[in-house]
Amino acid sequence: MLNKGIILFHSSNYAMWADNVLKKKNIDHRLIPVPRELSSDCGYCIEFENNSAAEVTKLLKNENIEFDRIETI
Amino acid sequence: MNIGSKLSKTNLVYFDNSATSFPKPPAVVDAVVEYMTQAGGNPGRSGHRLAEEAGEIVFLARKALASFFGIKNPMNVVFGPNATDAVNTALKGILNKGDHVITTHLEHNCVMRPLNRLSGDGIIDISVADGDEIGIVSANEIGSLLKPSTKVVVINHVSNVTGVIQPVREIGKMCRSKGVILIVDGAQSGGIVPVNIADDFIDIFAFTGHKALYGPTGTGGMIISDDFDHKILRTLKEGGTGSISDKIEQPDFLPDKLESGTMNVAGIAGLLKGIEFINSLPEGVNSALSHKLTLQKYFIEKASKKVEGFKSYSQTGSPGITSFRMEGFTASDITQQLSDRFNIMSRQGLHCAPSAHQKIGTYPEGTVRFSFSVFSTIAEIDYAIEALKKIRNRNA
Under an 8 A CB cutoff, do A20 and B73 touch? no
B25 falls in which pLDDT band (50, 70, 90)?
very high
Cα–Cα dist B350/B328, whole Å: 18
Residue of B47, B60, B75 lying closest to A32 (CB–CB): B47
> Residue B10's pLDDT is what?
62
B349 falls in which pLDDT band (50, 70, 90)?
confident
Q: Region B220-241: what's the mean pLDDT?
A: 96
Domain(s) labelled CATH 3.40.640.10 in chain B stretch across: 26-280
The answer on pLDDT for B122 being more than 70 is yes
The answer on pLDDT for B396 being more than 50 is no
Which residue pairs from B306-311 have beta carbons closer than 8 angstroms and sit at least 24 positions apart in sequence?
B306/B385, B306/B389, B307/B385, B307/B388, B307/B389, B307/B392, B308/B392, B309/B392, B310/B388
Question: What residue ranges in B187-291 does DSSP mark as E strands?
Answer: 204-208, 220-224
B7 falls in which pLDDT band (50, 70, 90)?
very low
ipTM of predicted complex: 0.89
Cα–Cα dist B226/B138, whole Å: 25
Under an 8 A CB cutoff, do A42 and B56 touch? no
Cα–Cα dist B249/B324, whole Å: 52
Residue of A13, A34, A43 lying closest to B59 (CB–CB): A13
Sign of CA dihedral B15, B16, B20, B22: negative
- Contact by Cβ (8 Å): B47, A44: yes
Contacts with B12 (C-beta within 8 Å, 6 or more apart), sequence order: B343, B345
Residue of B73, B242, B253 lying closest to A12 (CB–CB): B242
Give CA angle at B168 (B166, B174), nearest 5°: 125
Range of weakest confidence among A16-20, A50-54, B17-21, B35-39: A50-54
Sign of CA dihedral B44, B48, B54, B58: positive
- Contact by Cβ (8 Å): B337, B289: no
- Contact by Cβ (8 Å): B128, B327: no
Tell me the pLDDT of chain B averaged across its residues: 93
> Residue B183's pLDDT is what?
98
- Contact by Cβ (8 Å): B388, B309: no
Domain(s) labelled CATH 3.90.1150.10 in chain B stretch across: 285-394
Closest CA to B208 of B226, B232, B191, B230: B191
> Residue B361's pLDDT is what?
86
The answer on pLDDT for B8 being more than 70 is no
- Contact by Cβ (8 Å): B21, B374: no
Question: How distant is the Cα of A42 from the closest Cα of chain B, in angstroms?
Answer: 5
The DSSP code sequence of B325-340 is EETTS-HHHHHHHHHH
Which H helix or E strand runs over B139? helix B139-144
Residue of B47, B241, B244 lying closest to A44 (CB–CB): B47
A73 falls in which pLDDT band (50, 70, 90)?
confident
> Residue A41's pLDDT is what?
73
Cα–Cα dist B344/B377, whole Å: 13
The DSSP code sequence of B102-119 is EEETT--HHHHHHHHHHH
Residue of A13, A14, A44 lying closest to B52 (CB–CB): A44
Sign of CA dihedral A15, A20, A26, A32: positive
Under an 8 A CB cutoff, do B45 and A12 touch? yes
DSSP code of residue B150: E
Q: ω before B255 within 30° of 0 (cis)?
A: yes
Question: How distant is the Cα of B327 from the closest Cα of chain A, in angstroms?
Answer: 55
In a mutational test of the B interface, the residue from A42, A45, A63 whose CB has the highest number of chain B CBs within 10 Å is A42
In a mutational test of the B interface, the residue from A8, A9, A11, A37 whose CB has the highest number of chain B CBs within 10 Å is A11
| Number of Cβ atoms within 10 Å of the Cβ of B121 | 9
Cα–Cα dist B140/B170, whole Å: 9
Which residues from A are below 8 Å from B when comparing CB atoms? 10-17, 19-20, 31-34, 40-44, 64, 66
The DSSP code sequence of chain A is ---EEEEE-SSHHHHHHHHHHHHHTT--EEEEEPPTTT---SSEEEEEEGGGHHHHHHHHHHTT---SEEEE-
Residue of chain B whose alpha carbon sits nearest to that of A63: B73
CA distances from B338 to B13, B77, B349, B351 (A): 10, 39, 15, 18
Question: What residue ranges in B218-294 does DSSP mark as E strands?
Answer: 220-224
Residue of chain B whose alpha carbon sits nearest to that of A19: B56
> Residue B5's pLDDT is what?
46
Under an 8 A CB cutoff, do B46 and A43 touch? yes
Supply φ then ψ for residue B119, to 5 degrees: -70, -45
Under an 8 A CB cutoff, do B253 and A66 touch? yes
CA distances from B63 to B60, B77, B187, B273, B276 (A): 5, 8, 19, 12, 11
DSSP code of residue B207: E
The answer on pLDDT for B1 being more than 80 is no
> Residue B395's pLDDT is what?
53
Higher pLDDT, A60 or B359: A60
Cβ-based contacts of B60 with chain A (< 8 Å):
20
Question: How distant is the Cα of A34 from the closest Cα of chain B, in angstroms?
Answer: 7
Cβ-based contacts of A16 with chain B (< 8 Å):
43-44, 55-56, 58-59
> Residue A52's pLDDT is what?
86
DSSP code of residue B4: G
B351-363 pLDDT per residue, tens: 888 888 888 888 8
Closest CA to B244 of A5, A34, A47: A34
CA distances from B314 to A2, B181, B307 (A): 69, 29, 16
Give CA angle at B24 (B21, B25), nearest 5°: 135
Residue of A11, A16, A32 lying closest to B241 (CB–CB): A11
Q: Region B273-286: what's the mean pLDDT?
A: 98
Top-level class of domain B26-280: alpha beta
Which of the four CATH numbers 3.40.220.10, 3.20.20.140, 3.40.50.1370, 3.90.1150.10 does domain B285-394 have?
Answer: 3.90.1150.10
> Residue B32's pLDDT is what?
97
Instruction: State which fold the A4-72 domain adopts.
Output: Alpha-Beta Plaits (3.30.70)
